[in-house]
Homo-oligomer: A and B are copies of this chain.
Amino acid sequence: MHDPEFDVLAIGNAIVDVMAPASDELISKLGMTRGGMMLIDDDQAESFYAAMGPAREISGGSAANTLAGLAALGAKCGFIGQVAQDQLGEVFTHDIRAGGIAFETPSRPGDPSTARCLIFVTPDGQRTMNTYLGASQFLPPEALDEGTIAKAAVLYLEGYLWDPEEPRAAMRKAIAAARGAGRKVAFTLSDAFVIDRHGDDFRAMIDAGDIDILFANENELAALTGKNAFEDGIAALEDKLPVLVVTRSEKGAVAVAGGARAEVPAEPIAKVVDTTGAGDLFAAGFLFGHVRGQSLEQCLKLGAICASEIISHFGARPEADLKALIAERVA
């Protein structure tokens, strides 16, 4: 086995976020679940956009955000995801490449357009997401090159992308390629709705030993294990996964690995502006520590610092110099 060319190669949705401040009243009026993620079609995308205030566009996508954090920290990364041949596809492509991330998936001609996530951010910083998947759900298995997957120390997969059929097939192929090459597979559960629909797949993959590092938040842990008590959820999974990382918003995060357990509080922050990308950037910090061989505590600390940066401003791509931030906060 050669030394890996990439620290992390990720497969995820290629999305541009469209973000605007919104009142709690607007969220209710539009029938959205505060803090949730909902898949929407063309017509809903149009009507929700019309109801939205003046917005800004910032590249997003869960796994792509994680890579943006990893690359900012100095990791070598590659991304696989599907954009359309349109202006927002160019925006996504520019932003991920400008972050130093290899991205070679050819754009897809014709309809549908590049994926957009309409994000309504309430005054408390909570984000309510409405995703029009567009081209992103048509990532074909052929877009994956098994040779490239074998070159990455960690293959990182986004649960959101398990929902549409073509990318799911692509991700199954990728997992097999990574395992065949002796690489690690990291998986983020993304949202409870994904577990509602595909929990059996995920539990089977965990039982088969196909996942080395699993990222979940408290809700996702409960949905996956059927255990409402946090510690019961941890207990149900900890022996089945080499590394389990559970984020708990303002309560910090917990990781268990090989019988060891570590916890970290949330990093202090002046004001939560927008929670979009908190989990994605936590994963970035954790994975950076992991590929650099740091302790479980250190990995969690890096995750917490990256998450605290991302929630201090609009958008799920880092604005501050993450390397400098970590140098400052880590003894």
Interface, chain A (partner B; CB < 8 A): 20-21, 49-50, 52-59, 68, 86-88, 91, 94-96, 98-99, 113, 315, 317, 319
Contacts and interface: CB of A to CB of B under 8 A. Distances in A.
Given A54-B95, A86-B87, A87-B113, 9 more contacts: A49-B94, A54-B96, A55-B91, A55-B94, A55-B95, A56-B57, A57-B57, A57-B58, A87-B88
Contact of A54 (B49, B54, B113, B317): B317
A87 B68 CA distance: 24
A52 B87 contact: no
9 contacts: A20-B98, A52-B98, A53-B98, A54-B68, A54-B94, A54-B317, A55-B91, A55-B98, A57-B91
Copies in the complex: 2
Contacts of A87: 86-88, 113
A315 B56 CA distance: 9
A58 B17 CA distance: 12
A52 B94 CA distance: 9
Top 10 nearest A-B pairs (CB, nearest first) are: A57-B57, A87-B87, A54-B95, A56-B58, A54-B98, A53-B98, A54-B99, A87-B88, A56-B56, A54-B317
A56 B57 CA distance: 6
Contacts of A53: 98-99
Contacts of A315: 56
